[in-house]
Amino acid sequence: MSRRSQANEEFLRARQHEADGNIPGLISDLSSEESLVREHVARVLARLGAAEAAPHIAKLVDDPVKSVRMTALMTLGELKANGVTELLLRGLDDPVPTVRMAAADGLADLRDPSAIPRLREVLATERDREVRFCVAYALVELGDKEVVDDLPEVLRAMPWRMHLSSEWKELKRIVEAQSAS
């Protein structure tokens, strides 16, 4: 069987498991050789709220494909899985900025306040402005009051396209409220 045929077969199998709501089948599909299948299945499991899949999705945090790592970090946060805070924090050290952004987003969704000290540390040292933005947003979501002082600089550094996002508008609202008081 050709590589392309095998990939199509794996994707069709995953789609059938999705249509059937077959959580064990989907969990099995997380070990597919196809990165697109692994990504798709992780997103489906999060959409289904399949918390039992968290330990299996957690294995994807070390995947060689950056988009799979990114998806795993985001879905673990969405699932609000127990015991994944350390994995998400470790994602903040990934060499790929989009993966670090996904880790920050996952931490924002997870809402574990124990992540605040590490997020503050990353905000102080991170060079990528979009990662800094995601980290600042995560700190706001976690209720960190100290981040408010850093928000004006974080917002100024963002490209204009980010000004359309609901997250940017939320951070801007916080800065304006702080200035008014």
The pLDDT-based confidence of 87 (bands split at 50, 70, 90) is very high
Q: What is the mean pLDDT of residues 166-172?
A: 85
Whether the Cβ atoms of residue 99 and residue 128 lie closer than 8 Å to each other: no
Beta strands in the chain (DSSP E): none
The pLDDT-based confidence of 161 (bands split at 50, 70, 90) is low
pTM for this entry: 0.89
The pLDDT-based confidence of 158 (bands split at 50, 70, 90) is confident
The pLDDT-based confidence of 47 (bands split at 50, 70, 90) is very high
CATH pick for 3-180 out of 3.40.50.12280, 1.25.10.10, 3.40.47.10, 3.30.750.200: 1.25.10.10
Q: What is the mean pLDDT of residues 87-98?
A: 98
The amino acid at residue 96 is: V
- 144-150: long-range contacts at Cβ-Cβ below 8 A with a sequence spacing of 24 or more? 144/116, 144/119, 144/120, 146/120, 147/120, 147/123, 148/174, 148/175, 148/178, 150/123
The pLDDT-based confidence of 164 (bands split at 50, 70, 90) is confident
Q: Which residues contact 15 (CB under 8 A, 6 or more apart)?
A: none
Question: Which is it for the CA torsion 4, 5, 9, 10, positive or negative?
Answer: negative
Supply the DSSP string of 71-137, one letter for each residue.
Answer: HHHHHHHHHT-TT-HHHHHHHTT-SSHHHHHHHHHHHHHHT-GGGHHHHHHHHHH---HHHHHHHHH
Distance CA 171, CA 56 (A): 34
The pLDDT-based confidence of 5 (bands split at 50, 70, 90) is confident
The pLDDT value recorded for residue 42 is 97
Distance CA 70, CA 102 (A): 5
Whether the Cβ atoms of residue 154 and residue 168 lie closer than 8 Å to each other: no
pLDDT at 174 over 80: yes
Percent of all residues in the chain with a pLDDT value above 90, rounded to a whole number: 72
The amino acid at residue 170 is: E
Domain boundaries, the chain: 3-180
pLDDT at 85 over 70: yes
